[in-house]
Chains A and B, each alone.
Chain A
Amino acid sequence: MPDYRTDAGALRALVRETEVHRDVYTDPGVFALEMERLFANTWVYVGHASQVANAGDYATTTIGAQPVVMVRDHTGVVRVLHNRCPHKGTKVASEVCGNTGRLFRCPYHGWAFRTDGKLHSIPLKEGYDNTGIEATAAAQGMAPVRHVREYREFVFAKINDGGPDFETYFGDALSSIDNMVDRSPVGRLEVAGAVLRYMHRCNWKMLVENLTDTCHPMIAHESSAGTATRLWKQQPEGTPRHPAVEIYAPFMSPYSFYEAMGIRIWPNGHGHTGVAGSIHSNYSAVPGYFDAMVAAYGEDRAKAILDINRHNTVYFPNMTLKGPIQTLRVFKPLAAHRTLVESWTFRLVGAPDQLLERTLMYSRLVNAPTSVVGHDDLEMYERAQESLHSDANPWVNMQRLYDPAERDQETAVTNGTTEWQMRNQFRAWAKFMAPA
C-alpha cells in the first residue's frame, strides 16, 4: 500500500481519465488527506442564514471533520467559529442550535467569548498575570474560520488561506442558488421543517456521483417508483392525481428522457443535471403561486424563473440542491466508509403553504431513512463499499460518453446520460488532493 501522504505520484495515479482506484473510497489515509486538502481548501456549505435569524442564534455543524458553530454576532454578521474552547479544547456549543445570548461560555472552566469569538473573560484571571498568556492562541478566543461568504443567505466557509476565492471557485454554479431564491416572490428562503438525518455506511463520494447518475433510476428504483406507478395505474379512472405519485413517477422515465434532460459541466467539480427540463418539470400548479410570482417579477421574468427546472446541482465537494423543489442535501464525511446525509427543506417566503407541503413530502419520500427510494440507493452504495474489497479489479469505471477532447473543455452542456460530471468531480478532486 503506497503512503499517499508522502507519495504525490501515487495519489495522482488514483485518478485516471475514465477510472478511479478503489482506494479513493476505502482507504482511511486517503480520507484523512481529503479532510486536510480538499475540505479545508474549498468553499464548503455551512448553513443558511435563516437558521440564525437573531443576534446570538447559533447552529453547530462540521466542515469536513472539524466542528464549527455558525453564529449571528451582535453586529448582525454571520460568523463561523471553530467550536473548540481555546483553553482545553472542549466543545463550547453542544446543542444543534439555540441562542447563546451575548456570550459563549465554556462549560468546563467558564472561559467566556463574545459572539465574534473574541475572548471576553477568564475566571481568576490574575493566575495568568505575567505568564505571557496574551501571546498564546488560548488568549485569542474561539478561532474564527477566516474565510466566510454569505451568498443570498447561503453560508459557505473555507478553512485555509490558500485556494480560490469564492466567485472563482463557484462561478456560474451560483445560478442554481439564484433560481431557488428567485422562486420566492419576495426573493427569500427560510429553512422549514426539521432536518432529516440519514446514516450511510459508504464513502461520501458515492453519493455525490449518484447525483448526476441518470442511468440508475429506471433500474435501482424500479422497486419503489415502479411499484408506485404500477399501483397508480390500477386506480379507477378519474381518481385525482396523488401528489406522491407525481413525485415518484418521473423516476421511471426512459433513457431517452434522461438523455434529453442534459448535463451541464462547470469548473472545479460543479455541474448539474436537468438543463432542458427534469423530473421536476411537470408538477401540478399550486393555486395562487404563479399570480404571486407575476405580481412580484412581471410575467416574462416569472415564466423565465419557473421554466428553469434543474434536477441536482453539485456544489463540489459535498452539497447539492434542487431549486424547483427547494431541498438541499449535505453529505458529511465521517470516515472512509461512513457518511451522514442531511436533508434540509426550505419555505419560499411569500408563496402558498402548499409548496412547502410538497417540498416536505418530496424529501420524506426520497431522502429520508424511511424512504423507499433512499433504501434503493443506499443498498447500492453499501454493496459497492463492501465489494470494492475484491482484488479482482481495483478500478471503478466512469467512461460513459467519454471524449478525450473534454479534458480541455471546462464548461459544457451535453447528453444527460454522460459520466462526464463524475469525471469532472474527480479532476477537481485530484487538483486539490495532489497538485501537480
Chain B
Amino acid sequence: MNAADLIGFVVHEARLIDEQRFEEWLDLFTEDGRYWMPLEMGQTDPVLQQSLFYDDKLLLRIRVERLLGARTFSQKPKSRCHHVLQTPVVDESDAAANRYVTYTPFHYVESRLDEQTLYAGWSRHHLTMIDGALRMKLKRVDLVNPDSAFGNIQLFM
C-alpha cells in the first residue's frame, strides 16, 4: 500500500458524498464500520460519552434511505454539500497488521434553500484492506467547534 492509494481513497470518499452517491459510499465501510463525530475535543470514549454521530452501518443506511424518501420533509428541497480537503497525511501504515490511518483537515459546506453553513475539522480514516480493496473501519470527524450550537446537519462530512 503506498501513500497515493491511501490519499486517493480519502479523496474519492469525499467525492462520493459530494455527488450524493451514498450507496457506493456505504460500500466503503466494513460491515462493522463506524462513522463517529465526537462532541468533545480529544474525546476517547464513544459509548459512555456523548457524540454527534456514532453510527454503525444500519444507522447510516437508515439515514441514506431517509434522504431518498418521498415524505422526508426536511429534504424538500434537498440539501447539497461540498468538501475541500487538505492533502491527507498518512499517520500509520502497517501492512502486516493491515491497518492504515490518514489525517485530513477539511472545510465542509452544507447548503439548503438560501443558507449555506461552513464547518471545519479534521477527518481520520482508519482503513483496512478487504478482498483487494480499501475499506473504512472507522471514519472519525473532529469538528473545530463540536460544542457549538448547530442547526440541522443532514448530510455527511
- Residues of A at the B interface (CB closer than 8 Å) are 96, 192-201, 220, 222-224, 226-228, 230-232, 242, 244-245, 248, 340, 345, 353, 356-357, 360-361, 363-365, 368-370, 372, 374-376, 378-380
Contact = CB atoms under 8 A, between A and B. Distances in A.
Interface of B: 37, 39-40, 47-54, 58-59, 61-63, 65-66, 69, 71-74, 147-154
B151 A360 contact: no
A210 to B, nearest CB: 15
Contacts of A248: 62
A196 B61 CA distance: 23
Given A196-B39, A196-B50, 16 more contacts: A193-B49, A193-B50, A194-B147, A223-B74, A224-B66, A227-B62, A227-B65, A248-B62, A345-B50, A356-B48, A360-B49, A361-B54, A369-B151, A370-B153, A376-B73, A379-B73
B147 A223 contact: no
A193 B65 CA distance: 29
Contact of A199 (B71, B73, B74, B149): B149
Contacts of A364: 50-54
Contacts of A224: 62, 66
A162 B154 CA distance: 45
30 contacts: A193-B39, A196-B39, A197-B150, A199-B150, A199-B151, A201-B151, A223-B69, A223-B71, A224-B62, A226-B71, A227-B62, A227-B65, A227-B69, A244-B59, A357-B48, A360-B47, A364-B52, A364-B53, A369-B149, A369-B150, A369-B152, A369-B153, A370-B37, A370-B52, A370-B53, A370-B150, A370-B153, A374-B152, A375-B154, A380-B73
A197 B50 contact: no
A368 B52 contact: yes
A372 B63 contact: yes
B50 to A, nearest CB: 3
Given A224-B62, A231-B58, A380-B73, A375 B40 contact: no
Contacts of B151: 198-201, 369, 378
Q: Is the interface of A mostly helix, strand, loop or mixed?
A: helix
A201 B154 CA distance: 16
A325 to B, nearest CB: 14
Contacts of B74: 223, 375-376, 378-379
Nearest to B65: A227
Contacts of B149: 197-199, 340, 369
Closest 7 CB pairs of A and B: A193-B50, A379-B74, A197-B149, A369-B150, A223-B72, A375-B74, A199-B149
Contact of A363 (B37, B50, B65, B66): B50
Contact of A197 (B58, B69, B148, B154): B148
Contacts of A361: 54
A380 B76 CA distance: 12
A365 to B, nearest CB: 8
Contacts of B54: 361, 364
A345 B48 CA distance: 11
Given A223-B69, A376-B74, A369 B147 contact: no
Contacts of A195: 50
Contacts of B47: 357, 360
Nearest to A378: B152
B40 A194 contact: yes
A345 B153 CA distance: 21
A194 B146 CA distance: 10
Nearest to A220: B73
A374 B39 CA distance: 17
B152 A375 contact: yes
B41 to A, nearest CB: 10
Given A197-B148, A199-B150, A340-B149, A369 B52 contact: yes
